[in-house]
Each structure stands twice: as structure tokens, then as C-alpha cells.
């Protein structure tokens, strides 16, 4: 897109605008909170799960463009939150959210966003915006919502251009828990919702780099007694719980930045114990860095619930959910560490494992169930590794 290009909505009086750092301006109708925010812009291709996406801590520092037009049609409810409040900076949609029609809905998306300080903009040509992201990479943007339709475009453009970007940014520290806590809630089951775990077989310490609740539920459902620790926890603090295994959670930001403090902790556990270790998303990247590999920033990342991933060991193809803008560079994996999974979209790395130890991780989200159960075996593999250790 050329600089200073303005895309007008069908309405005569726009109440929101999205300004890209290259000067492109999208006008639309605002909903949710009013005000202004800056972030990196990404797009998500999932047809369901907008509430889970907005509350996924991995989206910190990002505004999400939803390619599926029916956003808001099932409302929101407390059970679908992946963390206490929305973490994504804002949302961009093609059609204004409709009134919800779902028996589980307790509130409208627009009210939910407004109460939680998140901006939405509708009436946007999301196909054109998505093409721009794919071609140019994830742009820096400013998004503004003003019911009167008054916008200082020059100031918004300056804000977008001043946004530092996610490279070199440690966001895990902003979304991690403030102190340790226990987790015993299991996966949702009809008709009673989330049952409490009884009779756990294994003690697991989960490092919270921005953990989604459903990941913790999957660990509990696999028989794990879960203790969650902040991202900054040291190896001594982890091992003080005498765990049977260590889990490394998902999270936002640049893995190299978070790795400044997380990698030494993981290295110490690898060097001084034989504990099974399992990582997801940012946890996957943290483990790769601790083993000696490197990570790279992707052009526009992977965000959606329809990503095919091939398991090199079995030849099986899993349909997975993904949300990441950085990836492990498979070419930098050291001896003794192999690539276990690969994206069938672009060949990027989606999993690693050590050849001689129960230490493994994946780039995608097995708890999100797009398959719907294609990837749940990873939690069972983690539990089996702890069983084998005794």
C-alpha cells in the first residue's frame, strides 16, 4: 500500500480508524473501549474462539485482525477466558459484532471489551488488510476509537511509527503470575463444566510465561498435580518443589529477551537433573535456546486453528492451533536434538526433542483442540515419561 492511503467505510461518519506505520489509514466503526493504543498488527484465520484469542497472553502487544467475519455472534462467558482479562491490544473485524445467539452467552462482546479497556473496529476490508500483512510483514499500527469521529491522523501516524515492535521485547514479565499457585481444574466436561482433579500421580512445576488456563487443565487431566511459578523463577525455586516434571508455558514477546533469565534456569535443570520437560509455544522456544539453538522473527507469523503439522516420527498430520510470531531455526539445532514436527504450510519448525531424554516441545497449541484431539497425546506422553521415571 502507498503512503497516506485512506480506506473509507460505507458510513459517512467513521468512529474509529486504524493507522499503519506506512501511512495507510483504514476508517470504520468503533466498539468496545474508546481511546487509542499502539501495537503490532497480525491476522487470525480461526472460525471460532474469538474470546479465547483475545484473552490468550501470547497476544500481548498485538492487535488481531479476524479474517472470519462473524465475530461476536456467540457472545462471551467467563468459562472461555484463557486468563482474567483480554490481553490482545484490540481487534479488527469486517462486520460490526451482532447480537449474541448462544445458550452459553452471558454478555455481549462489545460490552465485554468496553469494560476491559480494549478497542474494536468494524467495517474494515479485512481481506485487503490481511494481504498487506502477508506481503509486507506484521506492521506497527495505532488504533483509535472516538464516538465523535475526531482523529489526529498525524499524531496517530507518529505513534504507530514510534512503536518499538516485538523484537527484543520481554513481554512474559508483564503477563506472568505475581506469585506461585496451585491448579486442580480439569478440562470441561458435560454437563457440569470443569471438574476438580482427584488422585494426581505426578507433581509438575509449570513456568508461567503467559500460560493459558486450558493448558493447565490438560495437565491436570493427564494426572498432574500442578504448581505454577512466575516466569522469573530460578532453578533452585523450581527444584525446591521436588517435581516429577517441568512444564514450560506459552507466552508473548521475543524469546531471546525472555531467555535472558529463563534460559539459565532451564539449562541448570537440564544439567543437574533427569526430569522430563515439556514446552509449548514460547516454552518451546525457551527450551530450544537452552539447548543451543536460535530463534528468528517471522514475516507475519502463524495465527489460526487450521495449521497442518507433520510428526516426523509417525508420519501423522495434525490439524493444530497456532499463535506465534517467532520460530525456532531448525538449522541451528545441536547434535542430539532433532526436529520432531514441521509445518506443512511453510516448512517452519514446529517441534523438537532430545534423542536420549524425555525432553520435548512443540510450537503449536495441543490444548486448543482444533483437530479436535489430534495433539492431546503430547500431554499423555509427558505423563508417561514421568511414569517411566518412577
Is the domain of 258 the same as that of 362? yes
Helices (H), 116-176: 126-136, 153-162, 172-175
CATH of the domain at 308: 3.40.50.880
| Residue 367 annotated to the active site | yes
Residue 309 located in a structural domain: yes
Contacts 24+ apart (CB under 8 A), 100-105: 100/72, 100/73, 100/74, 100/75, 100/76, 101/73, 101/74, 101/75, 102/73, 102/74, 102/75, 104/74, 104/75, 104/77, 104/79, 104/80, 105/74, 105/75, 105/76, 105/77
| Residue 350 annotated to the active site | no
Place of cell 458435560: 190
**pLDDT attached to residue 6:** 66
- pLDDT tens digits along 36-68: 999 999 999 999 999 999 999 999 999 999 999
**pLDDT attached to residue 3:** 46
Given 120, 137, 162, which residue is the final one in a domain? Answer: 162
Task: State the Cα angle at 290 between 295 and 389, rounded to 5°.
Answer: 130
Within 8 A by CB and 6+ apart from 349, the residues are 327, 328, 329, 330, 339, 341, 342, 343, 363
Helix (H) or strand (E) holding 384: helix 377-389
Is the domain of 210 the same as that of 81? no
3-state secondary structure of 201: coil
Is the domain of 136 the same as that of 185? no
**pLDDT attached to residue 370:** 81
**pLDDT attached to residue 5:** 62
The parent domain of residue 296 ranges over 172-389
Given 127, 162, 197, which residue is the final one in a domain? Answer: 162
Is the domain of 91 the same as that of 122? yes
Task: State the Cα angle at 307 between 305 and 311, rounded to 5°.
Answer: 125
Within 8 A by CB and 6+ apart from 36, the residues are 119, 142, 143, 144, 145, 156, 159
pLDDT confidence of 34, banded at 50, 70, 90?
very high
Q: Which one of the listed residues 42, 218, 281, 350 is annotated catalytic?
A: 281
Is the domain of 181 the same as that of 129? no
- Chain-centroid distance, C-alpha 26: 25
Pairing label, strands 224-230, 337-343? unpaired
Residue 122 located in a structural domain: yes
Helix (H) or strand (E) holding 329: strand 317-329
Residue 264 located in a structural domain: yes
Q: Which one of the listed residues 145, 284, 302, 365 is annotated catalytic?
A: 365
Is the domain of 13 the same as that of 101? yes
**pLDDT attached to residue 10:** 56
DSSP 200: -
- pLDDT tens digits along 70-105: 999 999 999 999 999 999 999 999 999 989 999 999
Contact 71, 51 (CB under 8 A): no
Is the domain of 152 the same as that of 184? no
**pLDDT attached to residue 390:** 77
Is the domain of 76 the same as that of 102? yes
Q: How far apart are CA 145 and CA 15, in angstroms?
A: 6
Residue 136 located in a structural domain: yes
Is the domain of 377 the same as that of 266? yes
Is the domain of 156 the same as that of 225? no
Residue 217 located in a structural domain: yes
| Residue 339 annotated to the active site | no
- pLDDT tens digits along 359-376: 999 999 999 988 788 999
Residue 167 located in a structural domain: no
Q: How far apart are CA 242 and CA 231, in angstroms?
A: 18
Is the domain of 196 the same as that of 252? yes
Q: How far apart are CA 344 and CA 53, in angstroms?
A: 23
- Return the C-alpha cell found at 65: 485482525
Given 130, 162, 194, which residue is the final one in a domain? Answer: 162
More confident residue, 313 or 4: 313
Q: How many domains does the chain have?
A: 2
More confident residue, 6 or 373: 373
Mean pLDDT of 201-207: 97
Residue 320 located in a structural domain: yes
CATH of the domain at 61: 3.50.30.20
Residue 1 located in a structural domain: no
Is the domain of 24 the same as that of 135? yes
Amino acid at each position: 500500500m502507498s503512503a497516506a492511503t485512506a480506506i473509507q467505510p460505507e458510513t459517512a461518519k467513521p468512529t474509529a480508524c486504524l493507522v499503519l506505520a506506512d501511512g495507510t489509514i483504514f476508517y470504520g466503526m468503533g466498539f468496545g473501549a474508546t481511546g487509542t493504543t499502539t501495537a503490532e498488527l497480525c491476522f487470525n484465520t480461526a472460525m471460532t474462539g474469538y474470546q479465547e484469542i483475545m484473552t490468550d497472553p501470547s497476544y500481548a502487544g498485538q492487535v488481531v485482525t479476524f479474517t472470519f467475519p462473524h465475530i461476536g455472534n456467540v457472545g462471551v462467558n467467563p468459562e472461555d477466558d484463557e486468563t482474567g482479562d483480554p490481553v490482545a491490544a484490540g481487534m479488527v473485524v469486517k462486520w460490526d459484532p451482532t447480537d449474541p445467539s448462544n445458550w452459553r452467552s452471558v454478555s455481549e462482546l462489545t460490552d465485554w471489551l468496553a469494560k476491559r479497556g480494549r478497542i474494536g473496529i468494524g467495517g474494515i476490508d479485512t481481506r485487503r488488510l490481511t494481504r498487506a500483512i502477508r506481503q509486507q510483514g506484521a506492521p506497527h499500527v495505532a488504533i483509535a476509537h472516538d464516538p465523535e469521529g475526531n482523529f489526529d491522523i498525524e499524531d496517530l501516524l507518529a505513534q504507530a511509527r514510534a512503536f518499538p515492535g516485538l523484537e527484543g521485547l520481554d513481554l512474559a514479565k508483564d503477563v506472568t503470575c505475581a506469585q506461585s499457585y496451585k491448579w486442580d481444574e480439569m478440562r470441561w466436561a458435560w454437563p457440569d463444566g470443569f471438574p476438580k482433579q482427584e488422585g494426581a500421580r505426578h507433581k509438575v512445576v509449570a513456568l508461567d510465561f503467559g500460560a493459558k488456563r486450558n493448558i493447565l487443565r490438560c495437565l491436570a487431566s493427564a494426572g498432574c498435580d500442578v504448581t505454577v511459578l512466575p516466569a522469573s523463577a530460578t532453578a533452585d525455586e523450581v527444584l525446591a518443589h521436588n517435581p516429577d516434571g517441568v512444564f514450560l508455558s506459552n507466552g508473548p514477546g521475543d524469546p531471546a529477551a525472555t531467555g535472558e533469565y529463563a534460559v539459565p534456569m532451564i539449562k541448570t535443570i537440564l544439567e543437574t537433573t533427569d526430569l522430563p520437560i515439556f514446552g509449548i509455544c514460547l516454552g518451546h522456544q525457551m527450551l530450544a535456546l537452552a539447548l543451543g539453538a536460535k530463534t528468528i522473527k517471522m514475516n507475519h507469523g502463524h495465527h489460526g486453528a487450521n495449521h497442518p503439522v507433520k510428526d516426523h516420527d509417525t508420519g501423522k498430520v495434525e490439524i493444530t492451533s497456532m499463535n506465534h510470531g517467532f520460530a525456532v531455526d531448525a538449522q541451528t539445532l545441536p547434535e542430539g536434538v532433532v526436529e520432531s514436527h514441521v509445518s506443512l504450510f511453510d516448512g517452519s519448525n514446529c517441534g523438537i526433542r532430545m534423542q536420549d531424554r524425555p525432553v520435548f516441545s512443540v510450537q503449536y497449541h495441543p490444548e486448543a483442540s482444533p483437530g479436535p484431539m489430534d495433539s492431546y497425546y503430547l500431554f499423555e506422553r509427558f505423563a508417561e515419561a514421568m511414569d517411566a521415571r518412577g
